[in-house]
Amino acid sequence: MQNGIIKRGIEMIAEFEARILALIDDMVEHASDDELFASGYLRGHLTLAVAEVEQLGEHTPEALQIQVSRSLQNAIAAGELSPRDQALVVGMWDNLFVQARQLSA
């Protein structure tokens, strides 16, 4: 029984990740250079966060949102992004998460 719950949770996260990646792919055609940078940057953080939440046994979109946000904040603290890029990347992540949640409702 528990294996079935875990499997369903992993599938849920995989579906949610696929939804976000599809949203990113859909914007590529009309995205600005800055948006292309932010979307590529987010792909890496999203992939890492999915692996981390699966390893932790947290299989909800909310856990993924927290993990991506934490990863972005760590990158910002490490000086990886300029203030302008910080706003762009965090804003894009927030929008993608909301859109993906709406698609799953």
Q: Which amino acid is at 36?
A: L
Domain residues for 24? 2-104
| pLDDT tens, residue order, the chain (105 aa) | 555 555 565 678 889 999 999 999 999 889 999 999 999 999 999 999 999 999 998 889 999 999 999 999 999 999 999 999 999 999 999 999 999 999 876
Q: How far apart are alpha carbons 62 and 35 in whole angstroms?
A: 24
Structure confidence by residue, pLDDT tens digits, 7-16: 565 678 889 9
**pTM for this model (two decimals):** 0.87
Split into its structural domains, the chain has a count of 1
Supply 60's token pair.
């909800």
Give residue 103's pLDDT. 84
